[in-house]
Structure 1
Amino acid sequence: MRNTRTLTRRATLTATALTAALILTACGNGSDSASSGDGSSSASADATAGAHNAQDVSFAQGMIPHHQQALEMAKLATDRASSAEVKDLAARIEKAQDPEIQTMNGWLKSWGVDMSSSMSGMDDSAHSDMPGMMDSTHMDMLKKASGTDFDTMFLTMMIEHHKGAVNMATTEKNKGKYGSATAMADDIITAQTGEITEMNKLLGKN
């Protein structure tokens, strides 16, 4: 009887120890799984934040020459415009768009995309099929103008140019994947829509 009780007690203790060990093991595995899961989620989030698609590439490659032409037009205003408001607007366009060109060039470089198709040095007609882009004939006309004629021509052309940029930025905002690119697109829409309103007022349009 005594031996039976001893064996029973030992069996009970052994079962209890095994149960405790199993519980501890399960808890340990749960923690490891959770840690591993969190790590995967973080890595996944990082990858998503840095991901880009074909639309992002198209946006950068198109918007760079588009901005470059706007800068070319804005620089002409320095010694050709007669209106202080036009000169101020042109200076603001330069200040806003030049850094954006540098940023977009950086994206293309980081994505391993050829930047040659989006760089300056090409004839304006090469990009005249993009929304709002002026062809070489229009650019020559602007370069030859001065005074109030320049002001009117500059504002009229820049309104169309801005409308094209807003169109391109809207496509990027709706279809792009790269967070920084869609954020820039949103900024372009806001800034250039405001400038379109300003330019229409300078032309006497409401």
Structure 2
Amino acid sequence: MNKNTLTRAAIGLTLGSTLVLAGCSDTGDDGMEGHDMGGGAETMPDAGADPAAEANDADVMFAQMMIPHHEQALVMSRIVLDTEGVDPAVVDLATRIEGAQEPEITTMEGFLDEWGAEPMGDHSGHEMDGMLSDEEIRALEDADAATLSRLFLEGMIAHHEGAVDMAEAELADGENPQALALAQEIVDAQEAEIAEMQELLAAL
């Protein structure tokens, strides 16, 4: 073999090796040819993202406003529970309202903490739909058992109607799945209780 033949053979081997190496460089560790790891990383969803931690302004407002709204329902219910002689059906209703809304307050406080949002704090919230005034709360406290049953039902019907309106606003504008689920639970439970209270009130 002459010198020119040896030179051409060496060049051929070099080109072949270069092509093999180039092919290997286009194949990732998972064996997929031509996969651009840099470009793929930009379009991959964040596996660590928690959709439940995402909230918009409507979600935050829902929790911030519903907490004091629920807190007043607890005040009203406990006035009934601390008064002797109240209609047993009204006492049962107040017991159920307290049992449902107290854990919901805890849930919504957890939402705000998770979202990095502050509660309303000392805001009275009396301008919210269905909220009783200080005078109306005092009237509950001062009423005899029979009058308290009526005032409680009248006040709680309006209170529930306000809560339903707030929950429906969350269903229309919110995006957090947990907050939306709670809003739907509030609508379902409180609409049923409104119907129940209307029947109780008619029977007094």
Of residues 79, 83, 102 in structure 1, which corresponds to 2:106?
102
Q: Which range moves more in the overlay, 130-139 or 97-106? A: 97-106
Aligned residue type for 1:25: S
Counterparts of 2:187 and 2:157 in 1: how far apart (Å)?
Answer: 13
Question: Structure 1, residues 62-121: CA drift from partner, whole Å, max 9, x if none?
Answer: 111100100001111212463222111111111111112122223334444443x345xx
Whether the 8 Å contact between 1:80 and 1:146 is mirrored in structure 2 is no
Counterparts of 2:85 and 2:152 in 1: how far apart (Å)?
Answer: 9
Q: How many residues align?
A: 197
Identity %: 35
1:137 aligns with 2:135: yes
Higher helix share: 1
Offset at residue 36 of structure 1 (A): 3.0
Aligned to 1:186: 184
Note the 1:41-60 alignment, pairs <5 A: 41-43=45-47, 46=49, 48-60=51-63
Counterparts of 2:116 and 2:39 in 1: how far apart (Å)?
Answer: 36
Q: TM-score, normalised by structure 1?
A: 0.78
Of residues 62, 69, 72 in structure 1, which corresponds to 2:72?
69
Counterparts of 2:85 and 2:184 in 1: how far apart (Å)?
Answer: 30
RMSD across aligned positions (CA) = 3.0
Aligned residue type for 1:62: M
Q: Residue 128 of structure 2 aligns to a residue in which SS?
A: coil
Task: Go from structure 1 to structure 2 and tell me whether the alpha carbon gap of 1:143 and 1:20 turns closer, same or farther (over 3 Å shift).
Answer: same
Structure 1 stretches lacking a partner, 5+ long: none
Counterparts of 1:63 and 1:81 in 2: how far apart (Å)?
Answer: 31
